Amino acid sequence: MPTDDPQARRPRAAAAAARSPGASPRPPVSKGPVEVELRAVVGMPAEPVAGTVAILGRPNVGKSTLLNQIVGQKLAIVSPKPQTTRNRILGIWNGGAGQMVFVDTPGVHPARSALNRYMVDEAMGAVEGVEAALLVVEPPDSSAAVKVAPAERQILDALGRSRTPVVLVINKVDTLADKTSLIPVLEAWNAIASFAALIPVSARRGSGVRDIVIELARLLPVGKPLFDAELLTDRTERFLVGELIREQLFLELRQELPYATAVLIDNWEERAERGDVVIDATIVVERDSQKVIVLGKGGAMIKDIGTRARHEVDELLGRPAHLRLFVKVAPEWTSSTTDVARMGYRS
Ligand code: GDP
Ligand code: MG
């Protein structure tokens, strides 16, 4: 049966490994979700909770890393460059405490282009209809005092208007040589707004992440799961594959070039007899000069991007993938609302 557009489901580890013999040199990204049983949550009714939780903050603070760490699966792409994430992505956590539906969002920032305005709208739109929110921030430079950035103020005001409880997550604490420096930082944040909790974590290493889930189990209402327990995200495999290609563009290309790119999946062919999949995708850029860079000398750059993305795609799909990448120019597409929508960025 060709499954050309299913939503991504929890992988059955053994089956996935068997179908993907030696396809990827990388260790599996799936570690399974953070585990929290009801009895870990002091003061909880003995019934499972269910609810939606927005992950909000400025660009590059580690929101996507946090989502992946909580659900134990790489759903959202991550790069050292700000504004890697462009759409909302749901990651569904299931555990003894119930079901929590996390919404990863693009970073909130001053937006000028049509694409950036779409991204900020995606993020701020996530405030509606959630039962709780995580505001993710980084520790300030040791000497600097805690300051609320305009984007954080905008997020806090919107959450205040909808009376959504907010947990402040101070991420990247692994970068602090002296953990006691966190105490005045926590005190300063505590004076800024009325947070349900303040939790220092390292999303990259996973430390403190379980405390977030425990806190949310206290905040979310008792209820029936919103999604089938097998489902990992609302996004299709097709979308996630496009994202994995885009991640390589963010990791491999320098300066502003990644911001001028989009990825379209043109064709998806499941080959049942071979147990693999052939995927054609187009990388869209804004100018001919950018196309030259993406192709690289003798096609070296696009080959490299394809190889790296394929390893990730194999891992995601649990079966070998063949990627065929093409490059196309769509002049100044990031400036036009219509073109931005054409690249898949529409609400
Ligand atoms: P987002 O833009 O908020 O989604 O941030 P990302 O998840 O894409 O992460 C941005 C950068 O911060 C990447 O280079 C991550 O590897 C890095 N990062 C995320 N979490 C941590 C952390 O806990 N510690 C450190 N040192 N780096 C982190
Ligand atoms: Mg992100």
What confidence score (pLDDT) does residue 5 get? 58
60 ligand 1 Cβ < 6 A: yes
DSSP assignments along 254-283, one per residue:
-TTGGGG-EEEEEEEEEETTTTEEEEEEEE
Burial degree of 38 (CB within 10 A; 0-12, 13-18, 19+): middle
Give the predicted TM-score (pTM) of the model. Answer: 0.92
| Angle (CA) 189 158 341, round 5° | 120
DSSP assignments along 116-135, one per residue:
HHHHHHHHHHTTTT-SEEEE
Average pLDDT value for residue range 189-206: 96
Task: Tell me the pLDDT band of 221, cut-offs 50, 70 and 90.
Answer: very high
Task: Tell me the pLDDT band of 275, cut-offs 50, 70 and 90.
Answer: very high
Of the candidates 107, 65, 73, the residue with the CA atom closest to the CA atom of residue 93: 73
Percent of the chain with pLDDT over 70: 89
Q: How far is the CA of 66 from the centre of ligand 1 (A)?
A: 8
Q: How far is the CA of 288 from the centre of ligand 1 (A)?
A: 32
Dist. CA 84–CA 211, nearest whole Å = 26
Q: Which of 58, 64, 65 to mutate to test the pocket of ligand 1 (most atoms within 8 A of CB)?
A: 65
Kindly provide the b/e burial profile for residues 303-318, where b requires at least 16 CB atoms within 10 angstroms of the residue's own CB.
eebbebbbbbbbbbbb
Over 70: is that where the pLDDT of 4 sits?
Answer: no
pLDDT in tens, 107-163: 999 999 999 999 999 999 999 999 999 999 999 876 567 889 999 999 999 999 999
171 ligand 1 Cβ < 6 A: yes
Q: How far is the CA of 62 from the centre of ligand 1 (A)?
A: 4
What confidence score (pLDDT) does residue 11 get? 59
Helices 288-295, 300-317: crossing angle, 10 deg rounding: 70
pLDDT in tens, 292-334: 999 999 999 999 999 999 999 999 999 999 999 999 999 999 9
Task: Tell me the pLDDT band of 24, cut-offs 50, 70 and 90.
Answer: very low
Which helix (H) or strand (E) segment is 50 a member of?
strand 49-57
Burial degree of 273 (CB within 10 A; 0-12, 13-18, 19+): exposed
Dist. CA 20–CA 22, nearest whole Å = 6
Average pLDDT value for residue range 78-99: 96
Kindly provide the b/e burial profile for residues 127-156, where b requires at least 16 CB atoms within 10 angstroms of the residue's own CB.
beebbbbbbbbebbeeeeebebeebbebbb
Of the candidates 151, 163, 255, 171, the residue with the CA atom closest to the CA atom of residue 212: 171
Q: How far is the CA of 60 from the centre of ligand 2 (A)?
A: 7
HSE on the CB side for 130, CA within 13 Å? 30
Side chain identity, residue 329:
V
pLDDT in tens, 245-261: 999 999 999 999 999 99
